Structure 1
Amino acid sequence: MPNELFKYLIAHFYIPLYLLTWIIAVYRYRRYFDTPLKYLPMVIIYTFFTELLGYFIKYSNEFQFFSDDRFAWHNVIIYNVYQLVFFLFFFEVYRKNTKNESIKKWIFYASVSCVVIYVINAIFCNPLHDQMTYAHIAVSLALIAILVLYFKEKAKEENPQPLKYNLLFWVSIGLLAFYTLFPIILTMYKLNLGITVNVYLRPILLSSIVFQYGCFIIGLLAGKRKAFR
């Protein structure tokens, strides 16, 4: 098992990247411990352990959720739950960060809608065995809208600290890059356009993950407490 796990981590290089990002996030924690991103290290390590658990469920009998051999390797439920938690966390980050009361209310309603959308999606597909694609797509679009509002707000602000030293700015760039591509990729998978198209989707998805966490790392290393906004 250790050798197989090592080979798996090499093949899925983005998983060690999560761990590296978490280490840097903990090391730089003093720079943002009292900001809306104070729980970011927990979300990052949750991401890492979700991927790790996904491996063990798929390849180890001791971690499988289902006794039926047909579904023994199914691990999609942990990713469905993870995605919901991830969205709600960042919705709350931007709700707390914005100074615009109207946007605060809008994000709150978006958070409630997020939960409702996932519940509705769970009614029409089994979240234990099926990816909640429609919910992922819909809430990704909501997150993109929130990110656009964030960038517009920052563009209008006057602050002596450059945005390049703002951790949330870099996190937002990473999120926007990934969640702009994520719903497109999910839609193309759902349309089942054929292996000729699908073969290109995974490299694009992995590249967007690397870019996203690369932005996180840049923000963590370059970020200054006074520049956070």
Structure 2
Amino acid sequence: MSASFFSIDFFLDQFYLPLYLLTWIISLLRYRRFFDTALKYLPILIIYTFFTELLGYFIKYNDEFQFFSDGRYAWHNVIIYNIYQVVFFIFFFEVYRKLVQNPAIKKQIHYLSIFCLLTYVVNAIFLNPLHNQMTYAHIIGSGIMLYILTIYFREKYLEESPYPLKFNLMFWISSGLTVFYTLFPLISIIYLLNLNIEIQIYFRPILLTSIAVMYSLIIIGLLVGKRKAFR
């Protein structure tokens, strides 16, 4: 493994990697504030995110990290992102299922989680997930996420709580998820339209910015969140 992978240029180009790592470290330092909540596995998800991105980079740019012996596919790393996105969706769907108060909504989220999984299965039948983004499933999962987030925010708006929202970790996480999953499906749809590569290249900075905003909001929530204000 070349030392250049850990150079300053590497971290500048892959700025979200240190951002994930920083978020993970802060989540561990603040873990006592949410260790017995629906977010108790959040640090695991964050470090999983970090290693997924790190592995994805190595597969794409280092010949020592390859899933396929065929040179045409040596750089293909999409499968790890397809798996990651499923895990990410199911994790947060389950978090919100536990947090919402309405039993009917809880059941609805449960069925939506199953539906989301089925969309990935169907997408994988028509497009090989080893070599293709599960874009259709990503878009549907994003729509489900936004729907659940809307339900959560509505409950918070109607809820009477003695604690300001600024001290609620879930409020900050939900805000970050809203930013990312508003832009992610739109960019995915644009990708499906197969526009000129010169046009598509402008959307990567937008996607990376949304990632930076999402994790910045999560970090703020971890720093200012109070245990009693959680939910």
Q: Say yes or no: TM over 0.5.
A: yes
- Report the alpha carbon displacement of residue 11 of structure 1 after superposing the two structures with TM: 0.5
Distance in 2 (CA, whole Å) between partners of 1:91 and 1:33 is: 18
Per the alignment, residue 72 of structure 2 pairs with 70
* 1:169 matched residue in structure 2: 171
Equivalent residue, structure 1, for 2:185 = 183
Q: Aligned-pair distance for 1:196?
A: 4.3
Match of 1:200 in 2: 202
Per-residue deviation at 1:19? 0.3
1:146 and 1:223 map into 2 onto residues whose CA distance is 21
What is the Cα deviation at residue 12 of structure 1? 1.4
Match of 1:113 in 2: 115
What amino acid maps onto 1:122 in structure 2?
A: A
Amino acid aligned to 1:202? R
What is the match of residue 34 of structure 1? 36
Q: Secondary structure at the match of 2:174?
A: helix
SS in 1 for 2:115: helix
Kindly provide the amino acid, as one letter, of the partner of residue 5 in structure 2. Answer: E
For residue 189 of structure 1, report the CA deviation from its aligned partner: 1.4
2:17 partner letter: I
Q: How many residues align?
A: 229
Deviation at 1:5, TM superposition (A): 4.0
Match of 2:130 in 1: 128
Listed one character per residue, the Cα deviations across residues 54-106 of structure 1 (whole Å, up to 9, x for unaligned) are 11111223321101111111100000000000000000000001111011001
Report the Cα distance in structure 2 between the residues aligned to 1:174 and 1:136, rounded to whole angstroms: 17
| Cα deviations by residue, 1:122-146 (Å, 9 ceiling, x for unpaired) | 0000000000000000110000000
| Partner secondary structure for residue 71 of structure 2 | coil
> In 2 relative to 1, CA 18–120 (structure 1 residues): closer, same or farther, beyond 3 Å?
same
CA distance in 1, matches of 2:230, 2:153: 13
Which structure 1 residue ranges, 5 or more long, are not aligned? none
Query: After the TM superposition, which residues 42-81 of structure 1 pair with which residues of structure 2 at under 5 Å, given as runs?
Result: 42-81=44-83
CA displacement at 1:15 relative to structure 2: 1.2
Q: What stretches of structure 2 of length at least 5 have no aligned partner? A: none
- Structure 2 length-normalised TM: 0.97
Tell me the SS of whatever aligns to 1:64: coil
TM-score normalised by the chain length of structure 1: 0.98
**What is the correspondence of 1:83-102 to structure 2 with a 5 Å cutoff?**
83-102=85-104
Deviations 1:20-69 (A, max 9, x none): 00000000000000110111100000000000011111122332110111
Amino acid at match of 1:2: A
More divergent stretch after superposition (6-15 vs 43-52)? 6-15
